Structures are given as structure tokens and as C-alpha cells.
Chains A and B, each alone.
Chain A
Amino acid sequence: MTSLILTVRESIRYRGRSGQYSWLAHRISGLAILFFLVIHVWDTANAHFWPQAYAWSIALFKNPLFGIGEIGVMAAVLYHAFNGIRITILDFKPEWWRHQRASSLITWGLFLVIFVPIAILMFSHMIGHCSELAAAGDSCLRIPAFSDFAQYAR
């Protein structure tokens, strides 16, 4: 436990500057994507193995709580992809390591320019979905009942 606290504290305090923050963001985004990916893959496999569970789960994922998580996954995938390309280029071109700081700033800039409009669009999809349900007297926060998807049982 003390080792965990030490790891977390030193990850932030360590004076590696821009490279250190890229490294930290790469790890956190990678772990976040993996957590989502494992659930997503096993859930999607249910489309074949247990269609009722799959149909219910994708209805559940329309809940804004999952919608916020989905925007987070989008952020993680975009940052991890761009920074991963930066890492790969620098791995094969060590003579460019002197541009470490500039390249990490360019990566953050590119990420923001692409992520922000996408996040706004995804957020507006979510709001649109909720107001559509609200107009019909329903709520996007309601947890769907498993039995409502009985027609998909095999």
C-alpha cells in the first residue's frame, strides 16, 4: 500500500516534465481503454451467444452515465493513438529525441483540436436522446428491464 501511494505521488511529482506527463497519460489512457475493451468484447460476443443479454446491455449503455464514460473512452483512444505514434517515431528515430518536449506538446494540441468537437457532438447526441425520451414521458436514466428483451431470447 505504501508502495502504491509512493508510486502515485512520485508519478506526479517526478520532474520529468512534459515527457513524464505524456508517459503517465499514456499509461492511464491505456488502462482505461483496456478496462472498457474487455467488457466491450465479451458483451459484443453475446450478440451471438446470448442475444437477449446483448440487446439489454446496449439499451443500458444509452444511460448518460455510460454516455459520459463513452466520451472518456474516446478521449483515451485519441490521446493513446497520437502519443503511441509519437513513441513509435521516436523509437525508430532516436536522433529526434531532442524534440521530446515539442513533440509531446504537438500531440496534446492535436488531441485537443480533434477531441473537443467530437466530445461536443457526442454530448449533443446524448442530450438529444434524453430530451426525446423526456418528451415521450420516459427518462434516459431509467434502467431497462431484462424481460423487455425476451423477443431476442434464442
Chain B
Amino acid sequence: MASISSNPPGKITVRRVKLERSYERYLWLFMRLSGVAMLILAVGHMVIQHVLNSSTNLTIQFVAAQWDNWGWKAFDILLLWMAIPHGIRGLFNILSDYIHNNGARRVISVILGLFVVATVIWATIAIVLFDPAIVP
């Protein structure tokens, strides 16, 4: 890890610093790692579902055929686990730039945290338990 100071202007000095382990730092790292993973997972999902296939001929039968395969289920679960926390953390980072009251920030972070947990659990149950046989 490195921090930076540019003095004199235009000249960049790189200084190695030791960072303490903290919750914030792991979330910062999670944003980078999930971002790199989603270059494959999310961009891949968009290309497969919206370019190679198209939502103009998407049906529940198509979904049932895909989710008859544990590979596709795993792909979607992995993407879900990365995308929802990444997106909500990003929203929290944006809100933190404009909300300076610590109490309000804490309330928002708890609400958003609960939302992440609820969404991830709900959607994971849906993907795992989805039974292609129920689709006529």
C-alpha cells in the first residue's frame, strides 16, 4: 500500500506506509476485488443474457432451462453475492460524502446492511430452491 504527496507540484513522491487492519480497509479491498471479479461475472452476464441472448425472447422456460444446471446457479449466486454488497457499499460511500452527521450515517449504514443481508438471503434461497419442473 502506498500513500502519496505531490510536493513540489507535478512531482509525485511515493511513500510506503503500514496500514492498520480495520473494517473500513477490508471493505475498501472488497470493492477492488469484487470489481475485478465482476469484470468477468457482470460483464459476462450482460453479454450472455443481453447480447448473445436477448430479453426480447426471454421466457420463464429459458430461465428454467438455465437453472436446471448447477453451474449457472453457482454463477448467478456468486454474482449476486458480489454485486449487491458492492453496489450498496458504493451507495453508502456516495451518501457519506454528503451526510456529515455521525448518528445519521450510522443509522443509514445499519439500514443498508440489513438490506444487503435480506436481499442476498432472499435471492439465494430463490436460486437454490428454484425447481425447473414447476414451469409448464
Contact = CB atoms under 8 A, between A and B. Distances in A.
A7 interface: yes
A81 B134 contact: no
Interface residues of A, number: 49
Given A27-B94, A38-B119, A84-B35, A77 B42 contact: yes
B88 to A, nearest CB: 7
Interface string B42-62: 110011001100111111100
B55 A61 contact: yes
A49 B54 CA distance: 24
- The interface residues of chain A, by DSSP majority, are classed as helix
Contacts, number: 121
Interface in A83-98: 84-85, 88, 91, 94-95, 97-98
- The interface residues of chain B, by DSSP majority, are classed as helix
A66 B125 CA distance: 27
B127 A48 contact: yes
Interface in B81-97: 83-84, 87-88, 90-91, 94
A41 B36 contact: no
12 contacts: A38-B119, A41-B80, A41-B83, A44-B126, A45-B122, A48-B131, A62-B55, A81-B43, A85-B35, A94-B14, A129-B56, A151-B136
Interface of B: 2-4, 12, 14, 32, 35-36, 38-39, 42-43, 46-47, 50-51, 54-60, 63, 67, 80, 83-84, 87-88, 90-91, 94, 98, 119, 122-123, 125-127, 129-131, 134-136
